[in-house]
Amino acid sequence: MSKIKLMFGLLLGLGAVHAQDDITEKANKEAEKALKASTNITYEANEELTSNDFVSAEADYRRAISKSNKNAAARFNLGNAYYNRESFGEAFGRFKEASDAADDKGEKHKAFHNMGNVFMKQKDYKQAVEAYKQALRKNPNDDETRYNLALAKKMLEKQQDEQKNDQNQDDQDKKDQENEDKDKNQDQNNEGGDNEKKDEGEQKEDENKDKGDQGDNGEDKPKENQEGDGDKKKEQEKKPNEGNQPNDKKQQPRPNQLSEQQIQNLLEAMQNEEKKVQEKMEARKVRGKKVKNEKDW
């Protein structure tokens, strides 16, 4: 009984294997059929692109790609069409699809090579170097890829030097700006300090002026004190102290004083002159005496 079951199981297993093989074979045939149809459409698109009918070519390339995920040629050719029209973003996408769809190293090499060309156009030299390296891994004997790799390395080195110089220049500009701002702030602080000192000096000058116009107690002096007291003091300083000088400081006789005889003569002359004046006055009294008129009634 057990032998019968074992034989039956083996027969079932063999049947399943044959069935899977049939399915795989059928899928492969369908894939080959689809790839063939896709390839035929790709040929048509190539002819249209050669005739400068980009619109029809693009449409057929897309149709070919939709029929088979193994058609690397349709993807690669559509990428070239975009690249020639400088649609580098779309071109890179199609080259990437071509590298994934390709089965042989030759097709992968061409896809990576063209991806490197896209990066060179975009001045992304670092990514270009990596793409060309991937291409050379698939085909180390390609001289064009090797040349492009050397050029990408040279351009990357130049770009890095320029970026370094730009960074140094930016750092220097930033430092100069900081120093300029620092000097400007310092000048403003110095100017503010000078203005404060000037204001303090003017304030002190005004305070001193106000104190000069006030009395000892800070009160305003009366106008007569402001105007007259100073003049009186000056006059008193100019005048000698009359009556207050000591006896020994009284004015002394001058050395060229008149003699006694001269004084006597002057006195006599003055007496005679006075006598004459009195006589004249008496004569005037006599001549000028009013006569009293008596009324006759």
Return the pLDDT at 294.
43
The model's pLDDT over 77-116, given as tens digits with 9 standing for 90+, comes to 999 999 999 999 999 999 999 999 999 999 999 999 999 9
**What is the pLDDT confidence band of residue 179, given thresholds at 50, 70 and 90?**
confident
On average, the pLDDT of the chain sits at 78
Q: Which of 99-103, 198-202, 232-236 has the highest mean pLDDT?
A: 99-103
**Buried/exposed 122-155: b ≥16 CB within 10 Å, e otherwise:** eebbebbbbbbebbbebeeebeebeebbeebeeb
Residue scoring higher pLDDT (222 or 1) = 1
Domains of the chain: 24-165 (1.25.40.10)
Phi, psi of 220 (to 5 degrees): -65, 135
Return the pLDDT at 196.
64
Return the pLDDT at 243.
43
**What is the pLDDT confidence band of residue 28, given thresholds at 50, 70 and 90?**
confident
Q: Which whole number is the average pLDDT over 1-21?
A: 58
Q: How far from 231 is each of 134, 210, 213, 220, CA to CA, in Å?
A: 113, 21, 16, 19
Return the pLDDT at 236.
52
